[in-house]
Amino acid sequence: MEIRKDQEGKPTKIVGYAVRWGQLSKPLGWFEDFQEKFERGAFTKTLAENRDQIYAAWNHNPGEILGRSPTTLKLEEDEIGLRYEIDPPSWADKYVESIERGDVRGSSFIFRPVQQDWDESNPDMAIRTIKEAQLFEVSPVTNPAYPTSSVGVRSAEEVYKEFKESRQHKVDGQLELKQKQRERELELLRREI
């Protein structure tokens, strides 16, 4: 994250990356049992359709809005990740100073996954890949979920729990289907006898 200044040295923009493509988050979830990463283009649809509904806040505090797209918050996907540029209000000078001093270096974002894949080949740490997501907010934060962000927040344990439950429902459904197939096969065998 960086601060852009005008010719007179006055801060004019807060610039950063909310997420970098393909980079793993810190372990998430109550038991830190999964990590996630984003595919390039994950926000393409939301940036096209919901651009005026996305805002920037200080440390995810909705009482401290730094900007709103498309006027005072610019968002774009580039080859590195989801880049943002905030034109902060004058009252945010204290936050700009915290960024300039290096006290605040990370970014975070609030999103809802639309399309995702799970890789559980490592039983100790599942990997969730977000292919498409709806974006709501970007924020300069003190403790980002993605260490490589340059200025995520969700209920991570709920995300993983939902995935595990949906997978269990799928397994239960497959077992039920196999049981019904076996019952039909047995019925057919009884008829032949």
Tally of domains in the chain: 2
Q: Are residues 98 and 173 in the same domain?
A: no
Same domain flag for 108 and 66: yes
Angle at 17 between CA 15 and CA 21, to 5 degrees: 155
Mean pLDDT of 166-193: 70
Instruction: Determine the 3-state secondary structure of 72 from DSSP.
Output: coil
Please provide the distance, in angstroms rounded to a whole number, between the alpha carbons at the two ends of the chain: 76
pLDDT at position 44: 95
Shared domain check, 106 and 167 = no
**How many whole angstroms separate alpha carbon 124 and alpha carbon 42?**
26
Q: Between the ranges 61-75, 97-111, 133-147, 179-193, where is the mean pLDDT highest? A: 61-75
Per residue in 69-99, pLDDT tens? 999 999 999 999 999 999 999 898 888 888 8
130 touches 146 (CB < 8 A): no
**Over pLDDT 90: what percentage of the chain?**
45
Residue 185 lies in domain? 155-193
pLDDT at 165 over 90: no
pLDDT average, residue stretch 150-169: 54
Distances (CA, A) of 45 to 23, 51, 101, 112: 21, 10, 35, 13
Nearest residue to 86 via CA among 73, 99, 100, 96? 73
Same domain, 139 and 115: yes
Q: Are residues 33 and 120 in the same domain?
A: yes
Rounded to two decimals, what is the model's pTM?
0.71
Q: Specify the long-range contacts of residues 89-94, CB closer than 8 Å, at least 24 apart.
A: 92/58, 92/64, 92/66, 93/11
pLDDT, residue 142, reads 85
36 plus 115 within the same structural domain: yes
The model's pLDDT over 25-68, given as tens digits with 9 standing for 90+, comes to: 888 877 788 999 999 999 999 999 877 789 999 999 999 999 99
pLDDT of residue 171: 60
Give the residue with greater pLDDT, 114 vs 148. Answer: 114
pLDDT band at 174 (very low <50, low <70, confident <90, very high): low
**99 and 84, same structural domain?**
yes
Residues 93, 179, single domain; the answer is no
CA distance 166 to 174: 12
Give CA–CA dist 49/70, Å, rounded.
12
| Per-residue pLDDT at 116 | 94
pLDDT band with cut points at 50, 70 and 90 for residue 9: low
The pLDDT of residue 56 is 95
Q: In the predicted model, is pLDDT for residue 181 greater than 80? A: no
DSSP reduced 3-state for 57: strand
- pLDDT category at 182 given cuts 50, 70, 90 is confident
Question: At 154, is the pLDDT very low, low, confident or very high (cuts 50, 70, 90)?
Answer: very low
Is residue 91 domain-shared with residue 144, that is, in the same domain?
yes
**Collapsing DSSP states into helix, strand and coil, what is residue 191?**
helix
